[in-house]
Structure 1
Amino acid sequence: MVSKAEVTSNSADTIKLASAGALVLLGLVAFYYFAAQSLLLRVVGLLVIGALAAFIVYQTDLGKRTVAFFRDARTEVRKVVWPSRAETTQTTLTVFIIVVLVGIFLWLFDMLLAYLFRAITGI
């Protein structure tokens, strides 16, 4: 049974998200407004504003759920049993050989169909 997760939204979270978006927008406007200044200073300022906006977003329920999702995803990726180098090489070679064999088979089948077509139509 599939159940929908309830998304609760309160006005404080909405205000925080809107302020973070406005902060990012203000940072981008300032980045281009101060085009005569050093690029390094503008990039550092933009990174600081982005970090501040990310901190504000993290304070919301959506931000905390997003961080928890990525933390859980990272945990699941660590559980994956990755193939060894030898297994990867063997699988790659097997796929390559099968692709070549199927290609040759299709080429021969195409030649047979072309021969039959020419024989039937007399071209």
Structure 2
Amino acid sequence: MTTQAETAPNSSLNAVKWVLAIAILIAATVGNRYAPELLPQLSAWVRIVALVIMALVALGITLTTIQGQAFLKLLKEAQVEARRVVWPTKDETMQTTLIVFVVVLVMSLVLWGVDSLFGWMISAVIG
């Protein structure tokens, strides 16, 4: 039994937030496309800053939606799990890297040999 009261998600507010975020992204895209024609004195840096700000505002709005909150929860849980992982030591990493390098080298030599053999056989048949 939980002690927190469960509230029904406000789907209409959630939909409004999504529409607003998408509208901001569309406005940023259209504005960036037509800004040089409408305002030729506007520099590229101003357009870039405006795009970044609008994208961050849209991201902020989407993070307040139900799906955005679930995504933030997922990120927090993933961070906790990443701390629990036992990462390999430097020696283990180097050994594994060297093994992969040697296997790739050996396989490339085998493939080169097979390719040369097939090339020689086809040359012998064709003449």
Q: TM-score, normalised by structure 1?
A: 0.68
Structure 2 distance, partners of 1:48, 1:78, is 32
Offset of 1:91 from its aligned partner?
A: 2.1
Greater CA deviation, 94-103 or 39-48?
94-103
Aligned residues: 106
* Corresponding residue for residue 5 of structure 1: none
Q: TM-score, normalised by structure 2?
A: 0.66
Q: Structure 1 pair 51/100, CA: closer, same or farther in 2 (3 Å)?
A: closer
Aligned to 2:34: 33
Distance in 2 (CA, whole Å) between partners of 1:47 and 1:56 is 14
Report the Cα offset of residue 97 of structure 1.
4.2
- DSSP 3-state at the match of 1:20: helix
Q: Residues 24-65 of structure 1, C-alpha deviation per residue, up to 9 Å, x if partnerless?
A: 100111112112321110011111111111121122111111
What amino acid does structure 1 have at the position aligned with 2:64? Q
Q: 1:100 to 1:34 in 2, by over 3 A?
A: closer
* 1:46-65 equivalences in 2 (<5 Å): 46-65=51-70
Deviation per CA, 1:85-115, whole angstroms, max 9, x where unpaired? 111112233344455667778969xx8xxxx
- 2:91 match: 86
Equivalent position SS for 2:52:
helix
Do the aligned partners of residues 26 and 92 (structure 1) sit closer, same or farther apart at CA in structure 2, a change above 3 Å counting? same
Structure 2, unpaired ranges of 5+? 1-8, 118-127
Q: Match for residue 13 of structure 1?
A: 14
Q: Which stretches of structure 1, 4 residues or longer, exceed 3 Å deviation after superposition?
A: 94-108
Calculate the aligned-residue CA RMSD, in Å: 2.8
